[in-house]
Amino acid sequence: MKEKIDFKLWSHAAADWSTQYLEGVANRPVRSPNAPGDVSAQIAATPPQKAEPMDVIFADFERIIPDGMTHWQHPRFFAYFPSNAAPAAIIAEQLAAAMSAQCMLWQTSPAATELESSMIGWLRQSMDLPDTFSGVLQDTASSATLCAVLNMRERALDWKGNTQGLSGMPRVRVYASTRTHSSIDKALWVAGLGQDNLVKIPTNEHFQMDLEALQEAITADRQAGFLPGGIVACVGGTSMGATDDVRQVCNIARREDLFVHVDAAWAGSAMICPEFRELWDGVELADSIVVNPHKWLGAPMECSAHFVKDPAMLQRTLSITPEYLKTREHEDIVNFSEWSVQLGRRFRALKVWFLFRAYGVSGLQEMIRNHVQWSVKLARRLEAESDFELVTQPILSLFTFRYTPAGNTNLDEINLDLLQRINNDGRIYLTQTDHDGKKVIRFVTGQFDMQESDVDIAFDAITSLAREM
Ligand SMILES: Cc1ncc(COP(=O)(O)O)c(C=O)c1O
């Protein structure tokens, strides 16, 4: 017979554990010190046949799991892009988990659907996007971009791709700069368009898509009998923050009748601050935009705002309603599963609601401004050291640098070695990238509760570990 657990006792235990974890996370090494297999070796090879007591399960969790985690809520997580989680939004996630609703249709969770529409509205207003955009909360930017590429494909093929497949169809082409995220490539793979139909446009000295090259590529493709479908513009690229001239890209797209999707997965959160909005000047001309509040705004994973100008077009691409999904009671309702690839959906809007209400737009703006300011401060300090070089200047809170000790020729190896030492040390966590043929170290702030002193610790860790080499 199925055991009944004392839900109240164990949910309180989980809340106590979570509180202690968040209070003490700064004392843990940021990146897990585990070696591959450390966790698997401690997990039973087969599932238990009989129920186990919750205290044993909980004790195993505490013993095995936290040390095997890389701590994304550590204030000195400066790697990749952040995936920050505001405490109030974590509480909303707990509540959503208790209800564990499947929010595919209005009818299956009216509150979730209506709150989602409202939260898209709040996000849109806080970023000063025009009310010509509506939208949906997708799980990730990869999904939002896939939806956008599918939309480009169907629009270009006069809505025949879903029914007839792609064989015998003209080759639909999508354009993006060489500095865009790999989720764009993957979207073309999954949409059946193929890597060869993603035309990578070189960038200029400002790391922006070269507009002349873009225009030439579109013209050449038309002459070759291909079917240009859309452009993905990048605002805040992953490697070093590359940002296209969105207005000019959209102008070309308008002339060429192409769909524009803007990938602002990371940088988009900063658009709640008016002073940063010049970065995506012209964004109102785009057809769709993705911004990940789960990266930098404080909404726990997964939460990607996918703003769309013409939701009917997105629905035409993705809506499929067999009898068992039809609802009859109401008109003028939104069924968000018709705006996304997945049918089943989590209740994502609750955490956005708690987030905005617990901190206010002004509190979130202050956090982002601090992050940017503290990153710039660290960049300036490293730049002033004779044995360090800033490779790319800060774009919002992201910059790249190298250790350049005198007389050393193999700087790539030295910097990868330094990175390894930094991450093994545990005080901070950084990652590397390639920039114009050089291995460089990325630095990006973003954890929700980090302080200025955390970037001071980063400076000490980076410089002292480099000079010990
Ligand atoms: C610019 C950019 N776009 C897209 C993505 C993919 O985001 P997600 O993990 O939400 O799919 C990332 C991830 O870091 C990114 O940096």
- Take atom 7 of ligand 1 and give the residue whose Cα is closest: 141
Average pLDDT value for residue range 5-29: 97
Span of 265-274, 308-317, 324-333 with lowest mean pLDDT: 324-333
What is the 3-state secondary structure of 54-106? HHHHHHHHHHHCHHHCCCCCCCCECCCCCCCCCHHHHHHHHHHHHHCCCCCCC
In this predicted structure, the answer to whether residue 297 has a pLDDT above a threshold of 80 is yes
Question: What pLDDT shows up at residue 224?
Answer: 97
Question: What pLDDT shows up at residue 225?
Answer: 97
112's tokens:
């979730």
Average pLDDT value for residue range 374-378: 98
**CA nearest 103: which of 422, 444, 339?**
339
Pocket test for ligand 1, best of 137, 147, 183 (most atoms within 8 A of CB): 183
How far does residue 265's CA lie from ligand 1's centre (Å)? Answer: 6
Measured distance CA(86)–CA(255) in Å, rounded? 43
Q: Which atom of ligand 1 is nearest to the CA of 294?
A: 10
Q: How many C-beta neighbours within 10 Å does residue 199 have? A: 18
State which fold the 356-467 domain adopts: Aspartate Aminotransferase, domain 1 (3.90.1150)
Question: What pLDDT shows up at residue 214?
Answer: 98
For ligand 1, whether the C-beta of 138 sits within 6 Å is no
Report cis status (omega within 30 of 0) of the bond before 62: no
Task: Please write the tens of the pLDDT for every residue from 298-310.
Answer: 999 999 999 999 9
CB contact at 8 A, 243 and 237: yes
Q: How many C-beta neighbours within 10 Å does residue 122 have? A: 18
Amino acid 336 reads F
Question: What pLDDT shows up at residue 326?
Answer: 85
Question: What pLDDT shows up at residue 331?
Answer: 74
The model's pTM is 0.96
CA distances from 399 to 219, 387, 392 (A): 35, 17, 6
Task: Please write the tens of the pLDDT for every residue from 204-250.
Answer: 999 999 999 999 999 999 999 999 999 999 999 999 999 999 999 99
Spatial CB neighbours of 162, under 8 Å, sequence gap ≥ 6: 154, 317
For ligand 1, whether the C-beta of 245 sits within 6 Å is no
For ligand 1, whether the C-beta of 268 sits within 6 Å is no
Q: How confident is the model at residue 330 (pLDDT cuts 50, 70, 90)?
A: confident
For ligand 1, whether the C-beta of 72 sits within 6 Å is no
Average pLDDT value for residue range 423-449: 96
How far does residue 199's CA lie from ligand 1's centre (Å)? Answer: 19
Measured distance CA(385)–CA(375) in Å, rounded? 16
In this predicted structure, the answer to whether residue 13 has a pLDDT above a threshold of 80 is yes
How far does residue 38's CA lie from ligand 1's centre (Å)? Answer: 29
Mean pLDDT, the chain, rounded, equals 96
For ligand 1, whether the C-beta of 296 sits within 6 Å is no
For ligand 1, whether the C-beta of 244 sits within 6 Å is no
Average pLDDT value for residue range 368-393: 97
In this predicted structure, the answer to whether residue 147 has a pLDDT above a threshold of 80 is yes
How far does residue 261's CA lie from ligand 1's centre (Å)? Answer: 14
Q: How confident is the model at residue 328 (pLDDT cuts 50, 70, 90)?
A: confident
CATH code of the domain made up of 102-346 = 3.40.640.10
**CA nearest 299: which of 355, 364, 357?**
355
Task: Please provide residue 390's backbone torsions phi and psi, each rounded to the nearest 5 degrees.
Answer: -85, 120
**CA nearest 405: which of 428, 429, 389?**
389
For ligand 1, whether the C-beta of 81 sits within 6 Å is yes
For ligand 1, whether the C-beta of 183 sits within 6 Å is yes
For ligand 1, whether the C-beta of 304 sits within 6 Å is yes
Task: Please write the tens of the pLDDT for every residue from 398-425.
Answer: 999 999 999 888 999 999 999 999 999 9
For ligand 1, whether the C-beta of 232 sits within 6 Å is no
How far does residue 293's CA lie from ligand 1's centre (Å)? Answer: 11
Average pLDDT value for residue range 176-198: 97
For ligand 1, whether the C-beta of 239 sits within 6 Å is no
CB contact at 8 A, 141 and 184: no
Q: Which atom of ligand 1 is nearest to the CA of 180?
A: 1
Distance in Å from the first CA to the final CA of the chain:
61
Residue-range domain boundaries for the chain = 102-346, 356-467
Span of 127-136, 261-270, 399-408 with lowest mean pLDDT: 399-408
Pocket test for ligand 1, best of 178, 180, 244, 266 (most atoms within 8 A of CB): 266
Question: What pLDDT shows up at residue 74?
Answer: 98
Average pLDDT value for residue range 139-150: 98
For ligand 1, whether the C-beta of 181 sits within 6 Å is yes
Spatial CB neighbours of 73, under 8 Å, sequence gap ≥ 6: 22, 25, 84, 85, 447, 448
Q: How many C-beta neighbours within 10 Å does residue 5 have? A: 13
How far does residue 201's CA lie from ligand 1's centre (Å)? Answer: 19
Q: Which atom of ligand 1 is nearest to the CA of 139?
A: 10
Pocket test for ligand 1, best of 83, 149, 238, 303 (most atoms within 8 A of CB): 238
418's tokens:
């330094």
Q: How confident is the model at residue 175 (pLDDT cuts 50, 70, 90)?
A: very high
Sheet containing 259-263, strands listed edge to edge, beginning at the edge strand earlier in sequence: 134-138, 304-308, 288-291, 259-263, 227-234, 172-177, 198-201
In this predicted structure, the answer to whether residue 327 has a pLDDT above a threshold of 90 is no
Question: What pLDDT shows up at residue 322?
Answer: 83
